[in-house]
Amino acid sequence: MSTEVVVTIGGERRTAPSGTRIAELIDGERRRDTVAARLDGQIVDLGRAVTADATIELISANSPEGLEVIRHSTAHLMAQAVQSLFPGTQVTIGPVIEDGFYYDFAPPRPFTVDDLPKIEARMRELAKANLPVERLEEPREAAIERFRRMGENYKVEIIEHIPETVVSLYRQGDWIDLCRGPHVPSTGYLRAFKLTGVAGAYWRGDEHNPMLSRIYGTAFATREELEEHLKLMELARSRDHRKLGREMGLFIFDPVAPGSPFFLPRGAIIYNQLIEYVRRLYGRYGFEEVVTPQLYKNALWHTSGHWENFRENMFLTTDGENRGGELDYAFKPMNCPGHTYIYAAEKRSYRDLPLRIADFGRLHRAERSGTLHGLTRVRAMSQDDAHIFCTAGQVEEEIDLNLRMVRDVYGALGFERMEAKVATMPEKHMGDEAMWREHEATLGRALDRNGLAYELNPGEGAFYGPKIEIDVPDALKRRWQLATIQLDFNMPERFDLTYTTSAGTPARPVMIHRAILGSLERFIGVLLEHTGGVLPFWLAPEQVRVLSLSEKVEGYAREIAALIKDKGFRASADLRNEKLGFKVREAELAKVPYMAVVGEREAEARSVSLRMLRGAKNQAMSLDALIEMLKSEPLPS
RNA sequence: GCCCAUGUAGCUCAGUCGGUAGAGCACUUCCUUGGUAAGGAAGAGGUCACGGGUUCGAUUCCCGUCGUGGGCUCCA
């Protein structure tokens, strides 16, 4: 008994026998470009049979959803290739990620990059064979039994965690995998892919679990798009802050101090300019700067809880008298415990609050060796750190104040792509839930007031309070957390901080940890990648370089460089015995925003020939005009 | 810390199927005095990361350590 169903497909209504597969409803022309379909809003395979009236939208290969299907199917193709090449390898999971996909395997031996070409070649063979990809449904128990027989213990574990009674499997050729789908109709749809790397990854991301072997790859609808993507990645690598730092002479690293940058004079200028900028804001926003000890006796860390929770990440030491004895001091990894002593140095009243204490103190953290990464992950750093002690009722105003500061700073530095998140109460937490929810709402309100969109990061708060995190992506699309605004109910408790209320009774202040730039080190790293090294004028280590054309004008070049310096700008003169083209090239590579070329013509007229960074047209101008131009360069507000 | 890769001159990289090393750029000196992204020549510069092992002989092969890179984990 065949009944008819009414299908709206691509906006067109038509009828078809019930049970017709979606693929059969698509014209030949469109079929090649269609990888899946949306059936009444749900993404499904083209092989899905239509058994009721429905609305169908086709998902083309180059749509975001289509791309996801292609990448997911490519991950399967890779798993199939891997299992045929390396018998005894178990599959685990293979999700789609931002720029591609990965698949985690449990192989007899870890994969190396040398394995990738082989796997890729097999994938191409399998794609060329154009194997149909079929969806099967199987009762949960039968599937568990099936994968157990296949020796796929990880899959068994996965299915055991699936609540549904029926699970879906996908088969291509003789290969079969548990998967929710959807997938492309056949492996021939997969034409543009590349395996990009191998890595170790723990099963379920937990380091107590076995380490699996992960292979990363990417896939696109067409080879052209794949090529374009690979080129883009190449370009991104040229903006790597580590490369720029070397080229621009900003900082170096040396194995004598792993994870600890040496800022060279030019890098130190950027570093100090950022600090100066934040200092100016401190004046405006009512922060007071302090200078606090680097080393504290362990007693402090016991009280603060760092000994218990953070010792793994601390550098422990001792003093000269106790050499050979126990390690009874530690370098501070954070400023907060020290600041509680400044708070407690006086009897505080509600009239003192909010108390905003800022500190550019140097922090040291014994980060695990495998995590170090240029300036973005270091062991020695300074933060534009501050702690605010306030009453519970002042929290919202304080959060708001800091978010206004965030907007000032990020706006001044041209970051538009910041992403705000509110990390909420974790399972292990102190204080009652009502208080948490109330403060989470406060954070959200403050974000709203500042027009900042945000996402929730459920359960990701610290045990002692919720926080706002601001992330910014780097050149390679890795996200880095810069600003944080963290509420802390714990530290005031541990250090027994109090203030006297207007009623004369003692009360516990709330502590807010916050940093806008985060660490100066990381911020500079991200800023370099963000700008490609072309920093705003006020941050440029060298703002003007005078390029002399020949020895004859050496005196004049020297003179005007001195004059520009005298006006408060960072300038130098390149008087070397080199051709102009060479000097221009070097100034360009050093990313000096203004190049003032002087030859005999200019010396005669007391002028310069100005060239702007990145080849903007050079123009003759008087010295006064140049100074005026420099003065008109915007400073951060 | 774990997995994979990697470590040769200040930088970027060749090279040695085991007989102690090269290039370009940078550096020094000389020539050249020039008009907007590399003028020319000469010179100097390396315990081939470090420590063991195998070998007549190790920079090369093996093991370990350290560093670096890509991930995992953690976090600013």
**Helix (H) and strand (E) counts in chain A:** 19, 36
Catalytic residue among A385, A474, A488, A574: A385
Any residues with CB less than 8 A from the CB of A588 and at least 6 apart, and which? A613, A614, A615
CA pair distance A589, A499, nearest whole angstrom: 56
pLDDT at A43 over 90: no
Catalytic residue among A80, A90, A383, A486: A383
A387 pLDDT band, cuts 50/70/90, is very high
Domains of chain A, by residue range, sit at: 4-60, 65-236, 282-524, 542-631
A76: annotated active-site residue: no
CA pair distance A419, A454, nearest whole angstrom: 7
CA pair distance A368, A160, nearest whole angstrom: 35
Stretch among A58-67, A200-209, A337-346, A467-476 having the lowest mean pLDDT: A467-476
Quick count: other Cβ atoms within 10 Å of Cβ A224?
A: 10
A475 pLDDT band, cuts 50/70/90, is low
pLDDT given at position A2 = 59
pLDDT at A1 over 50: no
Which nucleotide minimizes the distance between its C1' and the CA of A585? Answer: B37
A387: annotated active-site residue: yes
Catalytic residue among A48, A348, A356, A365: A365
pLDDT at A6 over 90: no
CA A112 to C1' B1, in angstroms, rounded, equals 21
Average pLDDT of the residues in A544-566: 95
Name the closest residue (CA) to the C1' of nucleotide B31.
A577
Phi, psi of A185 (to 5 degrees): -65, -30
> ipTM of the assembly?
0.90
Average pLDDT of the residues in A28-46: 81
A513: annotated active-site residue: yes
DSSP 8-state assignment for residue A292: -
Please report, for residues A6, A14, A65, A111, A387, the alpha-carbon distance to residue A55 in angstroms, rounded to integers and kept in the order given. Answer: 9, 10, 17, 45, 56
Highest-confidence range of A20-24, A222-226, A474-478, by mean pLDDT?
A222-226
pLDDT at A10 over 80: no
Average pLDDT of the residues in A64-73: 92
pLDDT given at position A624 = 94
Is residue A45 a contact partner of residue A183, using CB atoms and an 8 Å limit? yes
Pair type for strands A594-598 and A544-548: parallel
CA pair distance A381, A366, nearest whole angstrom: 11
Q: A73-104 b/e with 16+ CB inside 10 Å = b?
A: bbbbbbbbbbbbebeebbbbbbebeeebbbbb
Pair type for strands A262-263 and A510-519: unpaired
CA A507 to C1' B19, in angstroms, rounded, equals 81
CA A582 to C1' B23, in angstroms, rounded, equals 22
Nucleotides of B under 7 A from a protein CB: 1-5, 7, 11-12, 31-39, 66-76
Q: Which fold has domain A542-631?
A: Rossmann fold (3.40.50)
pLDDT at A364 over 90: yes
Which nucleotide minimizes the distance between its C1' and the CA of A518? Answer: B76
pLDDT at A288 over 60: yes
Stretch among A166-175, A265-274, A317-326 having the lowest mean pLDDT: A317-326
CA A507 to C1' B65, in angstroms, rounded, equals 54
CA A154 to C1' B50, in angstroms, rounded, equals 41
CA A101 to C1' B73, in angstroms, rounded, equals 20
From the number of C-beta atoms within 10 Å of its C-beta (0-12, 13-18, 19+), residue A1 rates as exposed
Is residue A598 a contact partner of residue A547, using CB atoms and an 8 Å limit? yes
Which nucleotide minimizes the distance between its C1' and the CA of A246? Answer: B11
**Measured torsion, CA atoms of residues A515, A520, A525, A526, in degrees rounded to the nearest 10:** 20
pLDDT given at position A476 = 63
Which nucleotide minimizes the distance between its C1' and the CA of A201? Answer: B72
Q: Which CATH architecture has domain A65-236?
A: 2-Layer Sandwich (3.30)
In CATH terms, A282-524 corresponds, of 3.30.930.10, 3.40.50.10800, 3.40.50.2300, 1.10.260.40, to: 3.30.930.10
A390: annotated active-site residue: no
Average pLDDT of the residues in A596-624: 90
Amino acid at A479: R
Catalytic residue among A336, A356, A429, A488: A336
pLDDT digits 0-9 by tens, A89-125 = 999 999 998 889 999 999 888 888 888 888 999 999 9
Q: Which two tokens stand for residue A582?
A: 């060479």
Please report, for residues A345, A355, A386, A459, the alpha-carbon distance to residue A489 in angstroms, rounded to integers and kept in the order given. Answer: 20, 16, 16, 17
User: How high does pLDDT run on average in chain A?
Assistant: 90
pLDDT digits 0-9 by tens, A394-443 = 999 999 999 999 999 988 888 877 889 999 988 888 888 888 899 999 99
CA A310 to C1' B74, in angstroms, rounded, equals 11
pLDDT given at position A622 = 94
Average pLDDT of the residues in A42-47: 84
Q: Would you call A480 helix, strand, or coil by DSSP?
A: strand
Catalytic residue among A146, A183, A348, A513: A513
Is residue A390 a contact partner of residue A273, using CB atoms and an 8 Å limit? no
Please report, for residues A56, A69, A555, the alpha-carbon distance to residue A350 in angstroms, rounded to integers and kept in the order given. Answer: 64, 59, 64
pLDDT at A528 over 50: yes
Quick count: other Cβ atoms within 10 Å of Cβ A289?
A: 15
A467: annotated active-site residue: yes
A554 pLDDT band, cuts 50/70/90, is very high
Q: Would you call A252 helix, strand, or coil by DSSP?
A: strand
Q: Would you call A58 helix, strand, or coil by DSSP?
A: strand
Considering the domain A4-60 in this protein, what is its CATH number?
3.10.20.30
Name the closest residue (CA) to the C1' of nucleotide B72.
A201
pLDDT at A508 over 60: yes
CA pair distance A15, A444, nearest whole angstrom: 50
